[in-house]
């Protein structure tokens, strides 16, 4: 069964314990917000599973490397997504080679992200990351090249279909093995994950999509969405609970599970 986590604004951190399989941590927020930091300290003490990101999506580049390593050693997440560089295979592999050499807490697994500008390089990147020594590898949701095979349809649907196609083609090509461990970062459209039936190599996903949609007043239909919510965590992190439609949040979370058979 694929493990799922939806990132939430701080007013929903406690509520997220009821619907998330694990907690997904953005390290720059650990430095910025006491409530957020306490939530993850408490969750770690309770024995909960934590995947810590490098905050590339939120900041435009990976968070300060010294602070990343501080929080890796301080929080001891179960998984840590090492710094990658958006759609840049060379810089990403250079980072991956440097970060695999570092010392990690005993129970922390470093995870690397595939970055490239086309499918061929993405395959090369995936194989290189495995050869470097990474036991788990992630795929981002929004790479431009995902649209290469899907012209004439909405950009969000094209990117959704592009990642589905890329991941499955790598499996058919033998690049991804049945016993590999794959994480999917975010999504363009929430109905994507129903396409990975019997893909045992996909171990976990994270997406704030159902939460961000709800905060924009958008409810999922029975099939999901036609376009991606524009908001991200930067827009709503400090929202007051009084301004959150909790029924809509729960509706989207439950519908997300239903449409993806999770």
DSSP class of residue 179 equals T
Q: Are 125 and 94 in contact (CB under 8 A)?
A: no
Per-residue pLDDT of the chain (262 residues; tens, 9 = 90+): 899 999 999 999 999 999 999 999 999 999 999 999 999 999 999 999 999 999 999 999 999 999 999 999 999 999 999 999 999 999 999 999 999 999 999 999 999 999 999 999 999 999 999 999 999 999 999 999 999 999 999 999 999 999 999 999 999 999 999 999 999 999 999 999 999 999 999 999 999 999 999 999 999 999 999 999 998 898 999 999 999 999 999 999 999 999 999 9
pTM of full prediction above 0.95: yes
CATH architecture group of domain 3-18+87-259? Alpha-Beta Barrel (3.20)
Nearest to 215 by CA among 189, 191, 241: 241
Alpha-carbon Rg for the chain, nearest whole angstrom, is: 18
Q: What is the pLDDT of residues 9-40, one digit of tens each?
A: 999 999 999 999 999 999 999 999 999 999 99
Nearest to 209 by CA among 150, 259, 136, 169: 259
For strands 109-114 and 136-139, give the pairing: parallel
Mean of all residue pLDDT scores within the chain: 97
pLDDT above 90 covers a percentage of the chain that reads: 98
Query: What is d(CA 209, CA 207) in angstroms, rounded to the nearest whole number?
Result: 5
Any residues with CB less than 8 A from the CB of 50 and at least 6 apart, and which? 22, 23, 24, 25, 40, 43, 44, 75, 77, 78, 79
């Amino acid at each position: 069964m694929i493990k799922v986590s939806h990132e939430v604004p701080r007013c929903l951190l406690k509520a997220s314990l009821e619907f998330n399989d694990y907690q997904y941590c953005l390290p720059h927020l650990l430095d910025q917000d006491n409530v957020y930091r306490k939530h993850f300290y408490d969750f770690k003490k309770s024995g909960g599973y934590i995947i810590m990101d490098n905050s590339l999506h939120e900041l435009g580049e990976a968070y300060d490397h010294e602070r990343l390593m501080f929080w890796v050693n301080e929080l001891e997440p179960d998984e840590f997504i090492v710094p990658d560089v958006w759609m840049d295979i060379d810089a990403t592999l250079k980072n991956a080679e440097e970060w695999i050499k570092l010392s990690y807490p005993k129970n922390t697994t470093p995870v690397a992200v595939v970055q490239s500008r086309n499918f061929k390089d993405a395959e090369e990147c995936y194989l290189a990351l495995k050869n470097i020594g990474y036991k788990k590898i992630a795929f981002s949701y929004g790479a431009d090249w995902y649209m290469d095979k899907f012209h004439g349809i909405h950009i969000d649907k094209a990117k959704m279909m592009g990642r589905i196609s890329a991941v499955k083609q790598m499996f058919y090509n033998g690049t991804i093995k049945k016993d590999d461990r794959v994480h999917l970062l975010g999504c363009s459209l929430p109905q994507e994950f129903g396409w990975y039936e019997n893909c045992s190599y996909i171990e976990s996903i994270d997406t704030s999509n159902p939460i961000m949609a709800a905060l924009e007043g958008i409810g999922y239909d029975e099939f999901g969405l036609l376009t991606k919510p524009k908001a991200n965590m930067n827009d709503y992190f400090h929202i007051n609970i009084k301004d959150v439609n909790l029924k809509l949040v729960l509706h989207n979370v439950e519908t997300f599970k239903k449409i993806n058979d999770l």
